[in-house]
A and B are shown apart, each in its own frame.
Chain A
Amino acid sequence: MNETAAPPLLIDIRNVAKSYRRGGQIVPVLTDITLEVRKGDFLGLMGPSGSGKSTLLNLIAGIDKPDAGEILFDGVDITRLSETELADWRAGTVGFIFQFYNLIPVLTAFENVELPLTLTRLTRRERREHVEAALELVGLSDRMTHYPSELSGGQQQRVAIARAIIADPRLIVADEPTGDLDRHSAEEVLTLMDRLNTDLGKTIVMVTHDRRAADQAHAIMYLDKGELSTAADVHERSLR
């Protein structure tokens, strides 16, 4: 067996804790989580409802902050960034795929995908080229002028995937991406995500309840009662 150098570390989560206040009580959600994700990994996070999967995903994606610990992304501790810095960081670094697609209903598929690019300095023409390429990639070139309400669930999720990759992010986070889809659409979406990982080299962290979805990942980690119950070797699984 050939020895291959491990891909560099992209996300280094150290002793992260997070709790929420509910009705005057503090409810711990994550306790002392330590996790490493390397470039090109496809990590599945599984666990029962309320186990803290989405909370961990939100912390990794920089849309929430931990109570304690560090989250180093490519060496930068994102927990120390201000809200404005985090917004800029997210815009350039992270692509998001949500369970319910979270498309803007008054914008067409094209405009939804174009949205993140309006924050860049790209010209209108360059934006158009990028959007067309992204929609081509997800197989929706013929649905560019359609509004979300005119698309099926699977098609909406593919538009959301196109939006997630349009700014060429280094990390894609997906929160139950197949949770609202039928089996056929779910398979299409998972195939697409696999292509993003294998063909485009995107690092993906995916939260899911769906065992079939988790099987697409190179590594699966289980969260239960705020703790990572199994620390699988992500890199070793990815080499298999």
Chain B
Amino acid sequence: MQFLKLVLRNALRHRLRTVLTLLGLVVAILSFGLLQTVVDAWYAGAAGAAPTRLVTRNAVSLVFHLPLSYRDQIRAVDGVRAVSHATWFAGIYQDPKNFFPQFAIEPRTYFAMYPEYLVIPEEFTAFLRDRKGAVIGRKIADTYHLTVGDALPLRGTIYQGTWEFTVRAIYDGIDTKTDTSQMFFHWEYLNETMKKRAGRQTDQVGVYLVDVTDIDRVAEVSRAIDALFKNSLAETLTETERAFQIGFVKQTEALVIAIRIVSYVVIVIILAVMANTMAMTARERLSEYATLKVLGFSPGYVAALIVGESVAIAVIGAAAGITLTFPVADWFAAKVGTIFPVFEVSGETVVLQIVCAIGVGMIAAAVPGRRAATVKIVEGLRTVG
């Protein structure tokens, strides 16, 4: 009781110094949390991938498509439960900064393969009936204030011209980690339009999505699919959906690593600030610590007073920083719109924030704590606080 009283009163002794240190801690813990969340957001696609889903793409590059005829051959591979396909559209909605992914899909098989996308059955039926219909994620609907029935014109970049769509359904995610920043429309509409326009780029799909019956057969099925098209004009590369997503992240890995490093640099900076504060504090109170030792308190007790004070400040700062992380992350997510499909502060991030804060508190107090514990009483009594 006496210990806690001393720790807390000491922590509040120099209020301005404590408040400034706390402010630094709050900013550091908040920044760390946000940067970690940005990194998590980068990997969100991979994290949400199902282990039994495979992606088959052109072995040369994603830029090159695959013939529609592959669909039936892939479906016939032993171990394949279902096949669907998706084609990257890359249209612009009003302004290039309004980015969200758009895919031309085979609706029935695609939505059957992605049960995490929840669509109201009536809306889905309406989408199936409308060749120019589109299904958009809740995040798109909220960001651009779109509702069912609204027109959604896109300016094509790969497929030139203006493409008119009508929002027929809005899908929600089965949980907060599900990406609801995508738009889906009929591949038939894309294919038929392209046939009319040029006759090129027809009966082609971007990637095949393959659902495997058994997770243990994923590798075997991947090999079997690629073997099917070996030495063909369009050889395939089949990998798990997770590996496929990570492949995208890898392209920007240097940036992710930089963000991760910066997040830890922030912690190191606040550690230096905190260590300086605690060193000053302990130096000023050396004679008090010597007095405590004179009275019979152990060196360990004296060191614990300093560590306790440092950890108390760190924990208070962390609590405030973590509390602020959530609303700031929400604000940030709203500001960046659909650039990050999922921008959510994870439990792991909060745990990391707590661990970093306690670590900062303990490490910052290590040297001054040791000094106060080991300094000779006579020397300590001679110092003037």
Contacts and interface: CB of A to CB of B under 8 A. Distances in A.
A90 B298 CA distance: 11
A118 B2 contact: yes
Contact of A106 (B13, B292, B296): B13
A107 B3 CA distance: 11
Interface string A77-98: 0000001100110111000101
Interface string B272-312: 00000000000000011001111111110000000000000
B6 A84 contact: no
B381 A102 contact: yes
B10 interface: yes
A63 B5 contact: no
Interface in A58-83: 58, 61, 63-64, 83
A102 B291 contact: yes
Given A111-B5, A118-B2, A90 B295 contact: yes
Contacts of B376: 64
A165 B6 CA distance: 22
B377 interface: yes
B2 to A, nearest CB: 5
- Chain B, interface size category, equals 20 to 34
Nearest to B379: A64
Given A104-B6, A106-B6, A98 B299 contact: no
B296 A90 contact: yes
B377 to A, nearest CB: 4
Contact of B9 (A63, A91, A96, A106): A106
A63 B294 contact: yes
Contacts of A102: 287-288, 291, 294, 381
A107 B295 contact: no
A163 B5 CA distance: 18
Given A104-B6, A104-B291, A106-B13, A64 B377 contact: yes
A63 B2 CA distance: 24
Interface in B121-176: none
A58 B6 CA distance: 26
Contacts of A105: 13, 288
A91 B6 contact: no
Contacts of A116: 295-296
A63 B376 CA distance: 8
A54 B378 CA distance: 10
B296 A119 contact: yes
A119 B3 CA distance: 11
Contacts of B2: 111, 114-115, 118
Contact of A96 (B5, B288, B294, B299): B294
Chain A contact residues: helix, strand, loop or mixed: helix
A180 to B, nearest CB: 13
Contacts of A163: 295
Contact of A119 (B287, B297, B378, B381): B297
A114 B5 CA distance: 13
A83 B381 CA distance: 17
A96 B295 contact: yes
Contacts of B13: 105-106
A80 B118 CA distance: 79
A185 B5 CA distance: 31
B262 to A, nearest CB: 38
A84 B299 CA distance: 9
Nearest to A163: B295
Nearest to B291: A102
Contacts of A118: 2
A64 B296 contact: no
Contact of A63 (B6, B287, B297, B377): B377
Given A102-B288, A104-B291, A106-B6, A91 B377 contact: no
B298 A63 contact: no
Given A84-B298, A87-B298, A106-B6, A63 B291 contact: no
18 contacts: A58-B378, A63-B293, A63-B377, A63-B381, A64-B376, A84-B298, A87-B296, A87-B298, A90-B294, A90-B296, A91-B295, A96-B294, A102-B288, A102-B294, A104-B6, A111-B5, A116-B296, A118-B2
Given A83-B299, A107-B9, 15 more contacts: A58-B377, A58-B378, A87-B293, A88-B296, A90-B294, A90-B295, A92-B296, A102-B287, A102-B381, A104-B288, A104-B291, A106-B13, A118-B2, A119-B295, A119-B296
Q: Which 9 A-B pairs have the closest CB atoms?
A: A91-B296, A106-B9, A102-B291, A63-B377, A118-B2, A64-B378, A116-B295, A87-B296, A90-B296
